[in-house]
Amino acid sequence: MTLQTAPARPVGSRAADAVVKAIETRIAAGDLPDGAPLPPERDLIETFGVSRTVVREAVATLASRGLVESRPRFRPVVRRPGYDAALAAASGVVGFLLAQSDGVKSLYDIRIFLEAALVRHAAKHARKEDIEALKQALDANEAAIPDSQRFYRTDVAFHAVLYDIPKNPVFPSIHKAFTSWLEPHWVKMERSPERNRVNFLRHSDIYRAIRDRDPDGAEAALNAHLNAAWEYVRGTFDDI
């Protein structure tokens, strides 16, 4: 005699999928608010009438989609995902791709391409507050020239302002993704106050072109800046 409940489920689909969908719906409905812990696995078993195997698989799927965050031995926490989560989900494969030949270069070129468009946009549409924010980031960058670690942070922050200007929530997430993906390849680069000063001057060029409403100049300055940076770090990749 079989003790298992009859499947009564279309073949070619997993039982876990139904659970995933149900939980997704609950999150979307706000039933499980952001930050709340997921019900214990043993409760979900009863709720959905499935085995713990299925529940665990479902939770794993949700985690891979960024809808919940699960650390070992902790209750999974609901995370109403933003655009960063979407890009974070891709980061597994991206890491794989970066390890392959020209992977870093391809992605870096995309970044240059996008950022060139961003500075052009900024030169045309930035508002006074935006230019103000850019100026502040630039000043912080200058102040950090002697301290390479702090310089890197202010460098990233300066570029981040460019992604904020269009006021589209996707852009800041893209920036976060780029920095997190490319950062490991950047930290290997030796840094020095002299290099920092050069980079600061490039930032300064970009800032002035934007302030002066010069799209072509801004684009040229940004391309010069990022391409020079690439030439500078290229040496660390000759093993690829």
- Which of 20, 27, 32, 38 forms a contact with DNA (CB under 7 A)? 38
Q: Give residues 57-76 in contact with a copy of itself (rule: CB under 8 A).
A: 57, 60-61, 64-67, 71-73
Contact of residue 117 among a copy of itself, DNA, none (CB under 5-8 Å per partner type): a copy of itself
Q: Per-residue string for binding with DNA, 173-202, x by CB under 7 A?
A: ------------------------------
Tokens at 20, concatenated: 């995933």
Contacts with DNA by CB under 7 A: the residue count is 30
Q: Is the dihedral angle over the CA atoms 87, 24, 13, 6 positive or is it negative?
A: positive
Would you say 107 and 182 are in contact if contact means Cβ atoms under 8 Å apart? yes
Burial of residue 178, with CB atoms counted within 10 A of its CB: 0-12 exposed, 13-18 middle, 19 or more buried: buried
Given the rule CB under 8 A, which of 112-120, 127-135, 157-165, 222-230 is the region that contacts a copy of itself?
112-120
Kind and range of the H or E run holding 69? strand 68-69
Tokens at 141, concatenated: 């960058």
Q: Comparing C-alpha atoms, which of 52, 222, 190, 201 is closest to residue 123? A: 222
* Residue ranges in contact with a copy of itself by CB under 8 A: 11-14, 24, 28, 53, 56-57, 60-61, 64-67, 71-73, 81-83, 85-87, 89-90, 92-94, 96-97, 99, 106-107, 109-110, 113-114, 116-117, 120-121, 166, 168-171
